[in-house]
Amino acid sequence: MSRAADVSGRAADVSGRADGASARGGRASGRRATAAALDAESRAWLRSLRSEEEGREEAIARLHALLLRAARFEMARRRSATAAMGSDERDELALQCADDALVAVLAKLDRFRGGSRFTTWAYKFALLETAVKLRQRRWEDREIPVEPAHWELLDGSTRAPHAAVEQRELLDAVARAIDSELSARQRSALIAVALNGVPIDVLAERLDTTRGALYKTIHDARVKLRRRLAADGHLGGPPGEG
């Protein structure tokens, strides 16, 4: 069986399971994009992908080609992350990203609400798969600095000896607030992502959580910091609540 056919089959299985689950839950017609809200091309995509006839396989193949193009586009934008790979490895990775995006798109087809063209909606899955995989690869053998052993990086006098006095004072106040206001998990996440530049999905995987949950941790940490800084007169206005 060719790779494309194999992925199509896997995607069809996923789609079938999604359809079955939807039906069992009493598929709400409101969850599907209404035909009137869609442009003609998006309508045609949905019709073909939901068809139970021969046209569906051809539509899945076209969709896979579209997603593969998006995956290659993203890889080209991240040349530094792919520089060490051979061309075969790059090709295989792009295919893997397109495969995974295809499965995701077909599984979520009923969640397409027509807010954009279908192709734009589908693209974002391929870009996400590719970006995440490249970030993971780049960090796969690296230790992630999440421990609060890098406070000296936040010392205003060493980090920014030439910055304005107010900025250095603010930086020092932030460092104190990080130490006094945040939980250990909030400190680690904020330091790793915001200070040390660790990609959030890489850290999320290491911590066995999701990107969304980890961002919530960072968001809550930032709200605490802003509250403390505002209370101490370092920031004007109320802190963001998110």
Q: What is the contact surface with other proteins in residues (CB under 8 A)? A: 70, 73-74, 77, 115-117, 120-121, 123-124, 127-128, 131, 135, 156, 159-164, 167-168, 170-171, 174, 178, 190, 193-195, 199-201, 211-212, 215-216, 218-219, 222, 225-226, 229, 237, 239-242
Q: Between 85 and 223, whose beta carbon lies closer to other proteins?
A: 223
Q: Between 61 and 195, whose beta carbon lies closer to other proteins?
A: 195
CA–CA distance, 181 with 9 (Å, rounded to integer): 52
Centre a 10 Å sphere on the Cβ of residue 173 and count the other Cβ atoms it contains: 18
Q: How far is the CB of 67 from other proteins (least distance, A)?
A: 11
Q: Between 13 and 41, whose beta carbon lies closer to other proteins?
A: 41
Q: How far is the CB of 6 from other proteins (least distance, A)?
A: 26
Q: Between 47 and 124, whose beta carbon lies closer to other proteins?
A: 124
224 Cβ contact list (under 8 Å, min separation 6): 177, 181, 182, 186
Q: Between 24 and 142, whose beta carbon lies closer to other proteins?
A: 142
Q: How far is the CB of 96 from other proteins (least distance, A)?
A: 18
Q: How far is the CB of 41 from other proteins (least distance, A)?
A: 12
Q: Between 57 and 185, whose beta carbon lies closer to other proteins?
A: 185
Q: How far is the CB of 115 from other proteins (least distance, A)?
A: 3
Q: How far is the CB of 223 from other proteins (least distance, A)?
A: 8
